[in-house]
Structure 1
Amino acid sequence: MTASRRHLILVASVAVLGTACSPSAPPPPSADLPDGRVHVTGEGRPGDDWEDEGLLGENLPVRSDLAAMWQSVLWADGYLRRSDVDCHYAGRTVEATRVWQSNRGLAADGIVGPKTFGRAGRQLLARDGAIHYEGAEHTVRFRRDQDGRYSVLDGGTHKPLRRDRPTLSSCEEAAGS
């Protein structure tokens, strides 16, 4: 991979997942989530990291960093525009999810659960000290911290991805527009 392609991937990842936020301390488990976990997490090989993130579109908040992560997957595979990444699991994102699911032989119900997250997880690769989602059109770069939390570069700082609410700057920008 050329240096200019790596730069483009990094810039695209920052543009998709946010541009300016300050870091925060990890919060306690949330009683609002089915398993109490607040962050997207993983361990071991990346391919099975996302199978236990819950049901986006059913039992998780409609607005969250997890929604932005899923929208980034859809963007990387060419199903959404970069401007559609707004941390809100509704409308265009649900429709794009149904098409993504159908194209992969999954039930096209628009709910992102273990099978859909699991299928996306097949495209996660550990490389260069990071976890990369290798989409059909773009690559999204994540960092998996020592405690297993997934984070993304947001305004020059790695920010953990929350399942319960939006915290990324792209979420804040979308809420204000």
Structure 2
Amino acid sequence: MSRYRGRIKLGAGVMGAMTAALLVASTSPAVASGTYSGRAYLWGNGNADTYYADWDDEGLLGRSKHASSNATCLWQRILWADGELASTSDIDGVFGDRTHNATVAWQKDENNRSSGHAGLLTDGGVGPQSFGWAYSMHLWKAGGSESVGQTLNLRYDGTHHDFDLRRIPDGTYEFVDGDGAWRKAGYDYRTCS
């Protein structure tokens, strides 16, 4: 093999390795770190010792990630409960500018309330950090069981409003929608009102 052809093969191998490294580096942090559960719904593992950490591995919500979904509806309900959205009519399951701006305000307020200990990014996106903080700081057990295969009833204790939600036996989370129906907090569809 000529030196020239050897350099081409070496160059192609280096370029392939660099491309693979770039693809890994450009993957979203939740996927790259392996922390996102990859499930279609907000989900908890049913472990009685750690149910309060159920949302530490949730997916991303934002203007370009699951922007029209029941998971966004649940997040908007959290923003409403904490006074960042003015009315339940703002809960439509669409992560637009209003929800983005309310999320930034919520992240700033949570950091201020915790004297900066929350360390939440104020980027307007929602992922394991914001979901996890909301769960661990504002949700409390209202009844049921933390055990696998059981229903756990929870209450979100917001600064302005409270609302009920539950983890059902399959581990998925449901919340009461504006029409009074229970809705699963899914990432890939929107049926909330």
TM-score by length of 2: 0.64
Alignment correspondent of 1:126: 141
- Larger relative contact order, structure 1 or 2 (CA cutoff 8 Å, min sep 6): 1
Structure 1 residue 116, shift from structure 2 partner? 0.9
Q: Distance in 2 between matches of 1:77 and 1:157?
A: 22
Which residue of structure 2 aligns with residue 74 of structure 1? Answer: 79
Task: Report what 2:55 is aligned to.
Answer: 50
Alignment of 1:13-162 (within 5 A): 35-42=37-44, 43-44=46-47, 45-57=50-62, 60-80=65-85, 81-105=87-111, 106-122=120-136, 123-129=138-144, 130-154=153-177, 157-162=181-186
**In 2 relative to 1, CA 91–59 (structure 1 residues): closer, same or farther, beyond 3 Å?**
closer
Greater percentage in helix? 2
Bigger Rg, which one? 2
- Name stretches of at least 5 consecutive residues in structure 2 with no aligned partner: 1-35, 112-119, 145-152
> In the comparison of the two structures, how many residue pairs are matched?
136
Deviation string 1:15-62 (CA, Å, 9 cap, x unpaired) is: xxxxxxxxxxxxxxxxxxx75411111133442122212111177321
Change over 3 Å in CA distance of 1:83–1:159 after alignment to 2: closer
String of CA shifts for 1:127-150, please: whole Å, max 9, x gaps: 133111110111110121111111
Judge conservation of contact 1:46–1:126 (CA < 8 Å) in 2: no
Letter of the aligned partner of 1:38 in structure 2? Answer: A
Cα distance in 2 for residues equivalent to 1:153 and 1:78: 18
User: How much identity, in percent, do the aligned residues show?
Assistant: 39
RMSD: 2.0
Specify whether residues 75 and 39 from structure 1 end up closer, same or farther in structure 2 by C-alpha distance, changes over 3 A only.
Answer: same
The 3-state SS of whatever aligns with 1:50 is helix
Q: Relative to structure 1, is the Cα distance of residues 112 and 125 closer, same or farther in structure 2, using a 3 angstrom cutoff? A: same
- Structure 1 CA distance, aligned partners of 2:176 and 2:89? 18
- Please report the TM-score for the alignment, with normalisation by the length of structure 1: 0.69
